[in-house]
Amino acid sequence: MIKRLGRQPWVLSTIGTLMAAYLKLVYRTNRFVIEPEGVHEQSEKDLPVIVAMWHGQHFMVPFAKPAHWPAKVMISRSADGEVNAIAARKLGLGLIRASGGKNARQIKKRGGMRGFIEALRALKEGYSIAMTADVPKGPARKSGVGIVQLAKHSGRPVLPVAVATSRSIELNSWDKASVNLPFGRGSIAVNDLIWVPADADDETLEDYRLKVEEGLNQATKRAYELVGRADG
């Protein structure tokens, strides 16, 4: 009964709405800094971009975006994804309901190809796309190739972004999820843009996949350092 209740649209809507309200509280009650300084202004000329983030570290990433940047976020079609989608919509983001997979069967089941096409279209229309680089369910913080494929075919750069707060609860989940807490310090760390060549072959794509992985890990480490933590 509890499982069935958890799938009810009104339950998911309520949880998603509360989640959005909570994230706003966290953002407003933490003193945020951004590094490098002026990164938003510097990135304007390269819009739209593909914002890369890690699973489990993604909850506060919507607040890393200037309000005037049109953006959509790629979110899975699972029940958990539905809650995240409702919260993202409440935070002013457009949605693409899909996620990647490790093989063709998973990609088809999760709507990966359809999501890829929607993302290409959105980028062409001027929307930045936010997506997790690692594939559910793990390994965590290991980038999949999907994000670099999107960069290759769209001609748009990948922008690694990480957000951290000085106070958080770390969950024992596959993605090492961090639940950010209010009343502390916060940081937004952005790494260099990664441009993937349009003629990249499989070997080159692997090189750029590793660059995305390294760029995100560096951004995450720096975000935690900025709030006085060494566990990022």
- Percentage of the chain beyond pLDDT 70 is 92
Written as one string, the DSSP assignment of 16-72 is: HHHHHHHHHHHHHHEEEEEESTTHHHHHGGG-S-EEEE-TTS-TTGGGGS-TTS-EE
Q: Which residue pairs from 221-225 have beta carbons closer than 8 angstroms and sit at least 24 positions apart in sequence? A: 222/35, 222/162, 222/187, 222/189, 223/162, 223/163, 223/164, 223/187, 223/188, 223/189, 224/164, 224/187
Q: Which residue has the tokens 């770390």?
A: 170
Ordered per-residue pLDDT tens for the chain, 232 residues:
344 555 778 888 999 999 999 999 999 999 999 999 999 999 999 999 999 999 999 999 999 999 899 999 999 888 778 899 999 999 999 999 987 666 666 666 666 788 999 999 999 999 999 999 998 877 889 999 999 999 999 999 999 999 999 999 999 888 889 999 999 999 999 999 999 999 999 999 999 999 999 999 999 999 999 999 998 8
Task: For residue 114, give both structure tokens.
Answer: 């359809």
Residue pair 216/160 in contact (Cβ under 8 Å)? The answer is yes
User: What pLDDT does residue 19 have?
Assistant: 95
What single letter denotes the amino acid at residue 9?
A: P
- The C-alpha atoms of residue 78 and residue 82 are separated, in whole angstroms, by 6
User: What pLDDT does residue 109 have?
Assistant: 63
Other residues' Cβ atoms within 10 Å of the Cβ of residue 31? 12
Written as one string, the DSSP assignment of 134-175 is: BPTT-STT-B-SHHHHHHHHH-PPEEEEEEEESSEEE--STT
pLDDT tens readout for residues 57-70: 999 999 999 989 99
CA atoms within 13 A on the CB side of 208: 26
Closest CA to 229 of 159, 158, 165: 165
pTM > 0.85 = yes
